[in-house]
Structure 1
């Protein structure tokens, strides 16, 4: 005869283990997604920048820069923040920069020119940018490497 207030002994204990297999599946799917999309996030124009030593400019934190790139073939590209453009002509670049600067005149305008492009092409671009309303135009370069 068993005691009246006692619990039956055939009762199961609560399971204190968590099944983590679904979490591992989700993690692996996310890993594959990030591995596939990460190479697509880098955008821009392939430009072989000239190397020189210079002090970096102080970027304004709340203002996006306007970057105009000139590749080795002499094509112009306009980049604002993360948005790039298709190849443009010099008058198209001037028109687009003028529109952007009319909305917000304190944007920084930078030129990223390939080192193999004609010097006159970069100078003409800088003149067009200043006539479009850019108060100052900066040049983007790379620090010299050890091979040079």
Structure 2
């Protein structure tokens, strides 16, 4: 009688781990593609406005002051500011220029004024055909 060898009741267990090799291969290929294409991408250049320095202040300057209450005031040659409405701004500036279209117009505003009010004043002046419109800046912080 042949001897029956009883093997233990060992079952084959499935290995429950993920094969990471294909994942690593795909990542390395993507890394190489990005490294090759990165120098070929052109970066956009933004031209920011600069602040020019005048040698001397012009003798005749019209200043539009936007106050913290967002009301407009017109100051001619450093005099007393006169209140004006946005609808009358272009006519009042042209009247203050007295026919000289090269008279500069400077818009100055407080730090707390919303920027849209400054842009609205600048837009009204430029639509009226006033050539030299600028913004007043304070040097330093």
Q: Same fold (TM over 0.5)?
A: yes
2:115 paired residue number: 119
Deviation at 1:98, TM superposition (A): 2.2
4+ residue stretches of structure 1 with deviation over 4 A? Answer: 58-61
Could you say what the CA RMSD is over the residues aligned between the two structures, in angstroms? 2.1
1:103 paired residue number: 99
1:57 equivalent in alignment to 2:50: no
2:28 paired residue number: none
Aligned counterparts, 1:1-148, within 5 A:
54-59=51-56, 61=58, 63-101=59-97, 103-145=99-141
Q: Is the 8 A contact 1:65 1:109 kept in 2?
A: yes
Question: Residues 133 and 99 of structure 1: is their aligned pair in 2 closer, same or farther, counting only changes over 3 Å?
Answer: farther
Greater Rg over alpha carbons, structure: 2
The total of aligned residue pairs comes to: 92
Q: Is the 8 A contact 1:77 1:84 kept in 2?
A: no
Task: Determine which structure has greater relative contact order: mean sequence separation of CA pairs < 8 Å that are 6+ residues apart, divided by chain length.
Answer: 1
| TM-score, normalised with respect to structure 1 | 0.54
Gaps of 5+ in 2: 1-49
Deviation at 1:70, TM superposition (A): 0.4
Instruction: Give 3-state SS (helix, strand or coil) of 2:95's partner.
Output: helix
